[in-house]
Amino acid sequence: MNVQYFFHRATGTLTYLVSDRGEAVIIDPVLDYNEGKVATTSLQQVINAVKEQGLALKYILETHIHADHLSAALAVKNALSGKTAISRKITDVYDTWLFKLNCQPLAQFDLLLDEGDELSLGGEKVSVLSTPGHTPADLTYHIGDSIFVGDTLFAPKRGTGRADFPGGSAEDLYRSISRLFELPEDTHVYLCHDYPSENEEPELCSSLSIQKSDNVMINTSVTEKQYIEIRSNRDSNLATPKLLDVAIPFNLTYQLPNIA
């Protein structure tokens, strides 16, 4: 199995191209967005990599509905085929944000995934783990010796994703991460976000053992009560993501909202 990453510096987002025996999945692709316009300039690197390596794209996997960037899942599908996939609980997220969606219907994802579902990728299996907390519809994808965790975990020095969005829950996030901590300690943990300085590369991967020992918010010595307090205090001081009013409606409907 081969893992390639593509870093969208403007939003601090990591996209992954995972391949095995000529088949591939893309996880959390990103559109460029500026002043009401979308573009695929950054995405083209991902598309080119698939074509240059002669890979057959099977799936475009979303870990969750993102609030800080616009998903390029539909653009990838139009360019390369492949099926879009997200948690079945996306319908709950849609209902929560319906007041912002101007009556637009939920985007037609090809696959709505549940805990325990499996997809094939070459000689590997993509196992679907439900990891709610950041949102109620977060998924982790377990492929080989690696997990792709979306916003559930960040780099150990940063902690975890926030849990203060509608439907989010620090309690659920603690329990989701505790489940992940039961996996083998040498499991590779691939992150969805990092925020390096201009001349630095992102921290995109750690081992589960390092997360369990060194994560500043949640490690094996932190109780659920302690984590909820830490996470809640941190969330109370976080700003709203600057693209939230565009990103969430777009990612739920694939339609740009009218922003006054």
Domain count, the chain: 1
What range defines the domain where residue 198 resides? 2-253
Q: Does residue 140 lie within any of the structural domains?
A: yes
Q: How far apart are CA 88 and CA 249, in angstroms?
A: 17
Q: How far apart are CA 43 and CA 69, in angstroms?
A: 13
Q: Does residue 92 lie within any of the structural domains?
A: yes
Q: Does residue 188 lie within any of the structural domains?
A: yes
The CATH number of residue 195's host domain is: 3.60.15.10
Q: Does residue 234 lie within any of the structural domains?
A: yes
Phi, psi of 171 (to 5 degrees): -65, -45
Fill in the DSSP letter of residue 100. G
Tell which residue, 32, 85, 96, 39, has the closest CA to residue 243: 32
Looking at the whole model, is its pTM more than 0.95? yes
In order along its 260 residues, the chain shows pLDDT tens digits of 999 999 999 999 999 999 999 999 999 999 999 988 999 999 999 999 999 999 999 999 999 999 999 999 999 999 999 999 999 999 999 999 998 898 899 999 999 999 999 999 999 999 999 999 999 999 999 999 999 999 999 999 999 999 999 999 999 999 999 999 999 999 999 999 999 998 899 999 999 999 999 999 999 999 999 999 999 999 999 999 999 999 999 999 999 986 54
Q: Does residue 166 lie within any of the structural domains?
A: yes
If phi > 0 it is left, if psi is from -120 to 50 it is alpha, else beta; for residue 33 that is beta
Question: What is the CA angle 81-86-90, rounded to 5?
Answer: 135
Q: How far apart are CA 222 and CA 43, in angstroms?
A: 39
Q: Does residue 97 lie within any of the structural domains?
A: yes
Tell which residue, 23, 111, 33, 22, has the closest CA to residue 66: 33
Structure-block tokens of residue 134: 């950041």
Q: Does residue 258 lie within any of the structural domains?
A: no
Tell which residue, 27, 58, 56, 50, has the closest CA to residue 147: 27
Q: Does residue 259 lie within any of the structural domains?
A: no
